[in-house]
Chains A and B, each alone.
Chain A
């Protein structure tokens, strides 16, 4: 059940509109700040209720504040997303047709890849098959850096992945468009791009890297939760919120 929307909710929402996506710790700090600034009663464990109140008023505009996990550090993030469109027309106000086409191609590469990454080389090569106005190398590089700046993609060592905000916002679209290709994490049941895969050919379950870290923590002999085969991949460490981890 939702409370009345007050100034504290509005300030939270305005911050979300400007920032786009924030991590859970920042969200909690922001919630406290908004309540204190507007002298509203503050209960530390009621962030979800607070956001529900906002969401109930955002729903008629097909907007929501949604939560999702970063595939890099396993932390939870909140993003203000647009639910109205079923495809990526939400980006269409910021990007030209051919830029959107290239983004779709990058999405293809990432979704269909095993490691959830697309190299800049592969993305550049995909411009050959563009049906809208072709993009030069410099244009492609500029577009990619804009997409990173606008928090749709993340880049590391020349490889591009979907940003946390992108995954939160586009999950419904991706599930619809790539039904047969998408990977789902066996542990958290969410869509998975960067993940480890069980090497048993009859099993093949996928687990997010951070979910691997949490599930196998402290286990001396990691075994697949589904088929019990030895889990051969390196078990990452669980990342703490205050540690220096990249999104």
Chain B
């Protein structure tokens, strides 16, 4: 994974960061859950009826869908505590079946965005269509703006100072300082909503006075947004061959598929 490693000293005050020193609470919760072994899972399954296992899987699926509606990641600790409960001894099997349901029924992929703290999101697994949908989804304008921001960050090498983003938005006639007709509090949407949804990271740059932040792609963006497509769009916009941006082109095409966040152990996130 060719993401830049983030210096460990940068912490944002505005978002919960899942680094070791912050999450004593999370670790405690998660420490009470130890992943059962394959034989334990087998034994557990033998004691339950298929209907019981299906029911529990359905509950897990529903829980994820509700959380995902708000684009909030799901913590394994919460999932086990609130939904899986007594079935924790067959947890891996339930999660496997839930993942299969997401894939086969909803076209969604269950992605682990934080291997250390066991957090999951659901990511769209359907390919981006060429033609736009006849049904206008309510979140479309926000996605358009988000894509513009992600594009800028990507083209600039993966991290930009916040002023560049604010200037970009102003050029798009979306003023972060004013209340926007469609987006409302633009600044809040970008620095809070998009960050909580894990589309962006908004991190304080140390030793800046007045305080400045920088933007990077978030884990959900890594998993959901195709860099190849962004580069293609840039190519069309500037009437250039995407290959002319050699570094970005290399980055976009070096990854095996669009779901980059889940399995890479070198990820610092």
Q: Is B139 an interface residue (CB 8 A)?
A: yes
Q: Do residues B131 and A33 form an inter-chain contact, with CB atoms below 8 A?
A: yes
Instruction: State whether A61 and B61 are in contact (beta carbons under 8 Å apart), knowing that A5-B105, A13-B105 are contacts in the complex.
Output: yes
Q: Do residues B105 and A15 form an inter-chain contact, with CB atoms below 8 A?
A: no
Q: Do residues B107 and A84 form an inter-chain contact, with CB atoms below 8 A?
A: no
**Contact string against B for A residues 74-105, beta-carbon threshold 8 Å, 1 for contact and 0 otherwise:** 00000000101000000001000000000000
Q: Do residues B105 and A58 form an inter-chain contact, with CB atoms below 8 A?
A: yes
Best-surrounded residue of B65, B66, B106, B139 (most CB of chain A within 10 A): B106
Instruction: State whether A30 and B106 are in contact (beta carbons under 8 Å apart), knowing that A60-B54, A93-B66 are contacts in the complex.
Output: no
Q: Do residues A30 and B134 form an inter-chain contact, with CB atoms below 8 A?
A: yes
Contact of A5 among B104, B135, B137 (CB under 8 A): B104
Tell me which residues across on chain B come within 8 A of A30, comparing CB atoms: 133-135
Q: Is A110 an interface residue (CB 8 A)?
A: no
Contact of A61 among B62, B108, B133 (CB under 8 A): B62
Task: Bin the interface of chain A by size.
Answer: 20 to 34
Is the contact region of chain A dominated by helix, strand, or loop, or is it mixed?
A: helix
Q: Do residues A13 and B134 form an inter-chain contact, with CB atoms below 8 A?
A: no
Task: Give A30 to B132 CA distance when docked, in angstroms.
Answer: 11
Q: Is A220 an interface residue (CB 8 A)?
A: no
Tell me which residues across on chain B come within 8 A of A139, comparing CB atoms: none
Number of interface residues of B (CB under 8 A): 25
- Distance in angstroms from B126 CB to nearest chain A CB is 6
Q: Is A14 an interface residue (CB 8 A)?
A: yes
Tell me which residues across on chain B come within 8 A of A62, comparing CB atoms: 58, 62
Tell me which residues across on chain A come within 8 A of B105, comparing CB atoms: 5, 10, 13, 54, 57-58, 61
Q: Do residues A14 and B106 form an inter-chain contact, with CB atoms below 8 A?
A: yes
Task: Give A240 to B24 CA distance when docked, in angstroms.
Answer: 61
- Distance in angstroms from A146 CB to nearest chain B CB is 14
Q: Is A243 an interface residue (CB 8 A)?
A: no
Q: Do residues A13 and B106 form an inter-chain contact, with CB atoms below 8 A?
A: yes
- Distance in angstroms from B38 CB to nearest chain A CB is 25
Task: Give A58 to B133 CA distance when docked, in angstroms.
Answer: 23
Q: Do residues A37 and B129 form an inter-chain contact, with CB atoms below 8 A?
A: yes
- Distance in angstroms from B258 CB to nearest chain A CB is 16
Residue of A nearest to B127 (CB): A7
Task: Give A82 to B126 CA distance when docked, in angstroms.
Answer: 23
Q: Do residues B126 and A14 form an inter-chain contact, with CB atoms below 8 A?
A: yes
Task: Give A92 to B57 CA distance when docked, in angstroms.
Answer: 21
- Distance in angstroms from B167 CB to nearest chain A CB is 31
- Distance in angstroms from A85 CB to nearest chain B CB is 10
Question: A18-26, A65-73, A111-119: which lies at the B interface?
Answer: A18-26
- Distance in angstroms from A40 CB to nearest chain B CB is 13
Residue of A nearest to B132 (CB): A33
Task: Give A60 to B131 CA distance when docked, in angstroms.
Answer: 32
Q: Do residues A10 and B106 form an inter-chain contact, with CB atoms below 8 A?
A: yes
Instruction: State whether A7 and B134 are in contact (beta carbons under 8 Å apart), knowing that A37-B129, A60-B54, A93-B66 are contacts in the complex.
Output: no
Task: Give A15 to B106 CA distance when docked, in angstroms.
Answer: 10
Q: Do residues A26 and B135 form an inter-chain contact, with CB atoms below 8 A?
A: yes
Q: Do residues A19 and B62 form an inter-chain contact, with CB atoms below 8 A?
A: no
Q: Do residues B137 and A15 form an inter-chain contact, with CB atoms below 8 A?
A: yes
Contact of B134 among A5, A17, A33, A57 (CB under 8 A): A33
Q: Is B138 an interface residue (CB 8 A)?
A: yes
Task: Give A64 to B174 CA distance when docked, in angstroms.
Answer: 39
15 additional contacts (CB under 8 A) given A36-B131, A84-B62 = A5-B104, A7-B126, A14-B108, A14-B124, A14-B126, A15-B133, A18-B139, A19-B138, A26-B135, A33-B134, A57-B105, A58-B105, A61-B58, A62-B62, A93-B66
Give me 25 A-to-B residue pairs in the complex whose CB atoms sit less than 8 angstroms apart, sorted by A's number: A5-B104, A7-B126, A10-B107, A11-B126, A13-B105, A14-B106, A14-B107, A15-B135, A15-B137, A17-B69, A19-B137, A22-B135, A30-B135, A33-B131, A33-B133, A54-B105, A57-B105, A60-B57, A60-B58, A61-B58, A62-B58, A62-B62, A63-B62, A82-B62, A93-B66
The 8 closest A-B pairs by CB, nearest first: A10-B107, A29-B134, A37-B129, A18-B137, A57-B105, A61-B58, A93-B66, A30-B135
